[in-house]
A and B are shown apart, each in its own frame.
Chain A
Amino acid sequence: MSLVYAGILSHAPGITGRANLVDNEEARDEFYASLEKQRLEIEETGAEVLIVIAAEHFANFFMDNMPAYCIGIGDKHSGPIEDSEWLKIEKTKIPGAPELATRLVKSVMHSVDVAYSEEWRCDHGIMVPLNFLTPDYDMPVIPCNINCQGPPLTPLSRVWQFGEALRIACDEQSEKIAIVGTGGISHWPATPDSGKINEEWDRAFLNQLMHQDKQQLLSYVDEEVYAEAGQGGFEIRTLIAAAAAAGGRGDLQFYTAALPIFAVGCTVARFDISP
């Protein structure tokens, strides 16, 4: 078994970029502490590589050629694409794991026609998680993106299959691999409604996610998600893929809707790895 860790965490540019605008410092610091705990837990598993299942925010692809799924197989990735003062993360290079990533792509291709890229650019969707989970950029990272921005979007049943395919691929490797899924739950980022969070919807979704309730998770419909959880809710794809890869129950280690300046319900969770 080479998948040694599976979890989820939020990403949003405000989590790093607007830390100074928080009016609830206690909640912020508790969230940061949970992320640090997640970093330590990953470290304790002896993970050698970190797979980040993230949402494409137009750092790599546009509507001239938009893959539903893509895995970064380059020997390094660059980021953030955003203004580094705005995101409060310096521009840097992140080590990749080209050989392992290529093996994963080959394996995943048996069930999902995943695209691959040797020129990966990271936006806040990956840089914010890395800022907390591998702040010195000393751990090889394999980025995976799911298109959650440019409809038509991949169906949730395929998302589940992608997560399972990644799991099978990981289990074929000798390296110790950690996977995190990073997405928002309900949120309305990059609109005037930024900061709006549907906590009840989030908690219901997270409960299903922590219980591996596949039937409920795959029953979400984009039109309803849009109405109740905003276009940011389309990113549940990343979280569902992580749950499918893990296969085991989750432990919701942190959730708060009390940091609207971060524009997302802030979440940290860890899954058991099914045998």
Chain B
Amino acid sequence: MSLYQVQKFLYNLNRDEQIQNSFTKNKEEVLVDYDLTEEESNALVSGNIGLLYVLGVNGQILMHFAAYLKIEWFDYLQAMRDGIAEHGPVRAGIYAMTGGGKQFAQAPDSSDGEGVGDSSQ
């Protein structure tokens, strides 16, 4: 469990275009510099927002990573809900889901009012 290292990598990636370019070209090579478990490394390579969220990556850091991955806003929020459905509650940090999976903001074209996600927290 090396959440600190996961976050440190994302912190460096988020604020450095050179690292972003290197990471786009060869993800594994960039990650060699960080002490990561296989699960963490896979999550970073595949851009698994849901798992990274559950692992406890700080929300600001994860949000900036999702922006770098060009994930649409509502897809990003859903990816975190899906991560909880699959892996259970957030394991560390201050960004736990506390709203039971409820959607607090709607896409303008969605008509189903206050949707409820499939949360398990």
* Chain A residues engaging chain B, CB cutoff 8 angstroms: 13-14, 17-18, 21-23, 57-60, 62-64, 81-83, 85-87, 121, 123, 149-151, 188-197, 226, 230-231, 234, 260-261, 263
Q: Please, how many angstroms separate the alpha-carbon atoms of A83 and B63 in the complex?
A: 11
Q: Give which listed residue, A17, A18, A21, A196, contacts B104 with CB less than 8 A.
A: A196
Instruction: Please determine whether B108 and A150 come into contact, CB atoms closer than 8 angstroms.
Output: no
Query: A83-B67, A192-B80 are contacts. A260–B104 as well, Cβ < 8 Å?
Result: yes
B34 at interface, CB cutoff 8 A: no
Count of A-B contacts with CB under 8 A?
106
Chain B residues closer than 8 Å to A13, beta-carbon distance: 63, 67
Chain B residues closer than 8 Å to A260, beta-carbon distance: 104-105
By size class, the interface of chain B is: 35 or more
Q: Please, how many angstroms separate the alpha-carbon atoms of A196 and B106 in the complex?
A: 12
Query: A123-B64, A192-B101 are contacts. A83–B70 as well, Cβ < 8 Å?
Result: yes
Instruction: Please determine whether A231 and B94 come into contact, CB atoms closer than 8 angstroms.
Output: yes
Residues 41 to 73 of chain B near chain A (Cβ within 8 Å): 58-64, 67-68, 70, 73
A62 to B, closest residue via Cβ: B11
Query: A121-B15, A194-B77 are contacts. A86–B70 as well, Cβ < 8 Å?
Result: yes
Q: Please, how many angstroms separate the alpha-carbon atoms of A83 and B64 in the complex?
A: 8
Q: Please, how many angstroms separate the alpha-carbon atoms of A195 and B8 in the complex?
A: 27
- State the Cβ distance, B119 to closest chain A Cβ, in Å: 8
Q: Please, how many angstroms separate the alpha-carbon atoms of A190 and B77 in the complex?
A: 8
Q: Please, how many angstroms separate the alpha-carbon atoms of A267 and B120 in the complex?
A: 34
- Where chain A touches its partner, the secondary structure class is loop
Chain B residues closer than 8 Å to A64, beta-carbon distance: 8
Kindly name the residue among B4, B15, B80, B101 whose own CB sees the greatest number of chain A CB atoms within 10 A.
B15
Instruction: Please determine whether B105 and A261 come into contact, CB atoms closer than 8 angstroms.
Output: yes
Q: Give which listed residue, A195, A230, A261, contacts B98 with CB less than 8 A.
A: A230
B80 to A, closest residue via Cβ: A192
Chain A residues closer than 8 Å to B95, beta-carbon distance: 190-191, 231
- State the Cβ distance, B53 to closest chain A Cβ, in Å: 8
Instruction: Please determine whether B98 and A87 come into contact, CB atoms closer than 8 angstroms.
Output: no
- State the Cβ distance, B112 to closest chain A Cβ, in Å: 13
Chain A residues closer than 8 Å to B103, beta-carbon distance: 195
Chain B residues closer than 8 Å to A193, beta-carbon distance: 97-99, 102, 104
Instruction: Please determine whether A58 and B99 come into contact, CB atoms closer than 8 angstroms.
Output: no
B10 to A, closest residue via Cβ: A58
Query: A195-B104, A195-B105 are contacts. A83–B59 as well, Cβ < 8 Å?
Result: no
Query: A63-B4, A87-B67 are contacts. A188–B98 as well, Cβ < 8 Å?
Result: yes
A232 to B, closest residue via Cβ: B59
A222 to B, closest residue via Cβ: B94
Q: Please, how many angstroms separate the alpha-carbon atoms of A231 and B96 in the complex?
A: 9
